[in-house]
Chains A and B, each alone.
Chain A
Amino acid sequence: MLKASALYIVIIIALVIGILCSSLIVAAYFYRNEYQKKFRYDRLQNNINSGVNILLATPDTAYSNGNTFSLYNDDEDSVSLKKIFWGIYDVGSSIAFAQKDTLYKTFSIGYNLDSAKWAALYLIDEDRPLSLSGKTSIIGDVYIPKAGVTTSYMDNKAYQGDQRLIIGAKKISKKTLPPLLAARLIQFHQFSQQTHNGDTSVSRKDSVVQSFLLPTKYVNFKKEAQNISNIKLIGNLILTSDTTITLDSTVIVKDIIVFAKSIKVKTGFHGNCQLFARDSISIDSNCRFAYPSCLGILRFGQPGLVPSQEQIFLGSKCSFAGIIFTYEKTESILKPTIALGRSVKIIGQVYSQGILTNIDTVEVDGSVFTSQFLYKSSNTLYKNYLVNLKLNAKGLSPYYLTGDLCPVAGQKKKVLQWLEAN
Chain B
Amino acid sequence: MEVLIAMILIIAVFGIAMMIFTNVLNSSLSVKKIRAQAILQEILITVEKANNNNVSQSISVDDFRVDQEIKPYNGNAALIDIRLTALDQNQQKIAELEKVILNKND
Contacts and interface: CB of A to CB of B under 8 A. Distances in A.
Interface of A: 4, 6-7, 9-11, 13-14, 17-18, 20-21, 24-25, 28, 31-32, 35, 39, 42, 46-47, 49-51, 53-54, 56-58, 71-72, 77
A238 to B, nearest CB: 30
Interface string B80-101: 0100000000000000011111
B9 A24 contact: no
| Interface size grouping (class) on chain B | 20 to 34
A195 to B, nearest CB: 36
B2 interface: yes
Given A21-B16, A21-B20, A24-B20, A72 B101 contact: no
Contacts of B14: 17
A31 B2 CA distance: 41
A372 to B, nearest CB: 40
Contacts of A54: 73, 79, 100
Interface string B2-34: 110111011001101100110010011100001
Given A13-B13, A25-B20, A42-B37, A53 B102 contact: yes
Contacts of B57: none
Contacts of B100: 50-51, 53-54, 71
28 contacts: A4-B3, A6-B3, A7-B9, A9-B6, A10-B6, A11-B9, A14-B13, A17-B13, A17-B17, A20-B17, A21-B16, A21-B17, A21-B20, A24-B21, A24-B24, A28-B24, A28-B27, A31-B29, A32-B27, A32-B29, A35-B29, A35-B34, A42-B37, A46-B99, A50-B100, A53-B102, A57-B76, A58-B78
Contacts of A10: 6-7, 9-10, 13
Contacts of A4: 2-3
Ranked nearest first, the 9 interchain pairs of A and B with the lowest CB-CB distance are: A50-B100, A57-B78, A6-B6, A10-B6, A14-B13, A28-B24, A46-B99, A21-B20, A7-B6
B21 A28 contact: no
Interface in B50-106: 73, 76, 78-79, 81, 97-103
A173 B27 CA distance: 73
Interface of B: 2-3, 5-7, 9-10, 13-14, 16-17, 20-21, 24, 27-29, 34, 37, 41, 44, 73, 76, 78-79, 81, 97-103
Contacts of B28: 28, 31-32
A7 B3 CA distance: 7
A56 to B, nearest CB: 7
Contacts of B79: 53-54, 57
Contacts of B78: 57-58
A285 B2 CA distance: 97
Nearest to A43: B97
Contacts of B76: 57-58
Contacts of A56: 102
A49 B20 contact: no
A335 B87 CA distance: 69
Contacts of A20: 17
